[in-house]
Amino acid sequence: MNVSHKLLLLLAVSLVLAPAAASAADDKVLVCAGGKMYQSPTAKPIENAIVVMSDGKISGVANQAEIKYKLPALALQLDCRGKVIVAGFWNSHIHFETGWQNAAEAPAAQLEALLQEMLTRWGFTTVWDLGSMPSNTLAIRRRVESGEVPGPKILMAGDIFPKAGHPVYLPAEMQLPEAATPQEAAQMTQGYIKMGLDGLKLFTGAYMGAKPVVNMDTAIVKAAVDVAHAQGQPVFTHPQNRAGVDNALNGGVDILAHTIPTEGSFSAEELAQMKRQQTAMIPTLTLWTTVVSDPAVQDRLVRAGVDEVKSYLAEGGTILFGTDVGFQSKYDTTQEFEFMGRAMTWREILASLTTNPAAFFKAPMKGRVEKGMDADLVVLDADPAVDVRNLAKVKYTIRAGKIIYSKK
Ligand SMILES: [Zn+2]
């Protein structure tokens, strides 16, 4: 765009800004202009769209046909022509494990680089840490929320394991909270709530390698769920096997943090119960290519996971995007979108990244690009309607009206 075109566009823009935003806060106004915008997964695209963000919120959305007003001169303008604008993404299953130690003392630049590499360059503006060292994750969150380090909104669930259920893939020396009784599980849950965590994750099935999976009793699940639900907090499960799914569902868990591909499929009863209880499911399909080395086994697990996603969608179930990054190291989301695309439309995948988690986790100001909503956006280099893998081609990630990732 040459200068005169840019001026014309500026003069032509039609958005009303609140008086406060138009004066002292002008330098905090961010504009993304000229892109194709999907305001929600079900919306028709708006061509040549303009989004104005100020004070962390979306203060206006329009297309050129509605143009009447002038932008504040000091607004920071992003050239979004040829790009595709969608709401900020949620990754509802991550960890801050290897490489994230000492987050409280790490240099800010190092922390920012790590957050970009794992999360913000893939468009994530809100993430759920489903079990890491709480003090470390809380330190990252503190430094992000203070404005020192650009990063996503971080929510965290505390882990509880079954007695003698220390998964083989976690270091033996790691101290894990194992609950032997319902009382212990309830106490541990209360402890996490006091710590300031946002949810709970129960290992209703713990993987023991050559030995049988250790499952958590339903009574223990239920005791923990009751305490979390009393505080309005969601409960995730790592199910591992069919018994892990069933105990979790019978105990009232809200979200399956994985599919269970080693079991081949969910039973009709499980699908019906999940639907009845409005349980959400996180596919983590890429994970199944990282836990075994034999390509034939990887392929079988991914196929089973895809079929499980398909079967739950057919019931009308809720799918939440999540990859287990930080435990597994494939940060690139391209493959996950490709796998999900075998079971879901691009609009269903976009919903799993935006409106589904916003609704499920009761964040009504997130998930859509509309006036008054949080200014969390992803600007893509290509249209996901053409190829779902384009959801991984992120040009800018914007959280609360600030650019937290910009592709070089
Ligand atoms: Zn995980």
The predicted-structure confidence for 260-303, as pLDDT tens digits, reads as follows: 999 999 999 999 999 999 999 999 999 999 999 999 999 999 99
Instruction: Count Cβ atoms below 10 Å from residue 341 Cβ, excluding itself.
Output: 18
Judged against a pLDDT cut of 80, whether residue 18 lies above it is answered with: no
Judged against a pLDDT cut of 50, whether residue 26 lies above it is answered with: no
Mark residue 69 as left, alpha or beta (left: phi above 0; alpha: psi -120 to 50; beta: remaining): beta
Both 101 and 61 in one domain: the answer is no
Instruction: Count Cβ atoms below 10 Å from residue 300 Cβ, excluding itself.
Output: 16
The whole-angstrom separation of Cα 299 and Cα 307 is: 12
Predicted local distance difference test score (pLDDT) of residue 119: 98
Among 16-25, 141-150, 316-325, the range scoring the smallest mean pLDDT is 16-25
Q: How far is the CA of 395 from the centre of ligand 1 (A)?
A: 27
Both 179 and 76 in one domain: the answer is no
Both 52 and 183 in one domain: the answer is no
Residue 131's domain is classified under what CATH number? Answer: 3.20.20.140
Both 59 and 119 in one domain: the answer is no
Q: How far is the CA of 322 from the centre of ligand 1 (A)?
A: 9
Q: How far is the CA of 120 from the centre of ligand 1 (A)?
A: 19
Among 45-49, 187-191, 226-230, 362-366, the range scoring the smallest mean pLDDT is 45-49
How large is the average pLDDT for residues 73-102? 91
Residue 402's domain is classified under what CATH number? Answer: 2.30.40.10
Judged against a pLDDT cut of 90, whether residue 5 lies above it is answered with: no
Q: How far is the CA of 166 from the centre of ligand 1 (A)?
A: 14
Both 262 and 387 in one domain: the answer is no
Q: How far is the CA of 94 from the centre of ligand 1 (A)?
A: 6
Predicted local distance difference test score (pLDDT) of residue 8: 35
Both 310 and 387 in one domain: the answer is no
Predicted local distance difference test score (pLDDT) of residue 320: 98
Q: How far is the CA of 174 from the centre of ligand 1 (A)?
A: 16
Q: How far is the CA of 200 from the centre of ligand 1 (A)?
A: 12
Helix axes 268-276, 242-251, angle to 10 degrees: 30
* pLDDT > 90: percent of the chain: 86
Contact 204, 213 (CB under 8 A): no
Q: How far is the CA of 131 from the centre of ligand 1 (A)?
A: 7
How large is the average pLDDT for residues 315-322? 97
Q: How far is the CA of 198 from the centre of ligand 1 (A)?
A: 16
Both 19 and 73 in one domain: the answer is yes
Structure tokens at 378: 């992803």
Its domain, for residue 80, covers 3-87+368-406
- What DSSP string runs through 32-56? EEEEEE-SSTTSPPEEEEEEEEETT
Q: How far is the CA of 282 from the centre of ligand 1 (A)?
A: 10
The whole-angstrom separation of Cα 344 and Cα 123 is: 20
Predicted local distance difference test score (pLDDT) of residue 63: 79
Q: How far is the CA of 113 from the centre of ligand 1 (A)?
A: 22
Q: How far is the CA of 130 from the centre of ligand 1 (A)?
A: 6
Judged against a pLDDT cut of 50, whether residue 6 lies above it is answered with: no
Q: How far is the CA of 96 from the centre of ligand 1 (A)?
A: 10
Both 250 and 166 in one domain: the answer is yes
Both 336 and 385 in one domain: the answer is no
Enter the pTM of the model: 0.92
Judged against a pLDDT cut of 80, whether residue 46 lies above it is answered with: yes
Domain count, the chain: 2
Q: How far is the CA of 205 from the centre of ligand 1 (A)?
A: 13
Both 69 and 97 in one domain: the answer is no
The band of 388, judged by pLDDT with boundaries at 50, 70 and 90, is very high
Q: How far is the CA of 292 from the centre of ligand 1 (A)?
A: 16
Q: How far is the CA of 41 from the centre of ligand 1 (A)?
A: 26
Mean pLDDT of the chain: 92
Both 129 and 201 in one domain: the answer is yes
Q: How far is the CA of 238 from the centre of ligand 1 (A)?
A: 8
Q: How far is the CA of 98 from the centre of ligand 1 (A)?
A: 13
Among 23-32, 260-269, 306-315, the range scoring the smallest mean pLDDT is 23-32
Helix (H, G, I), strand (E, B) or coil at 3: helix
Both 198 and 290 in one domain: the answer is yes
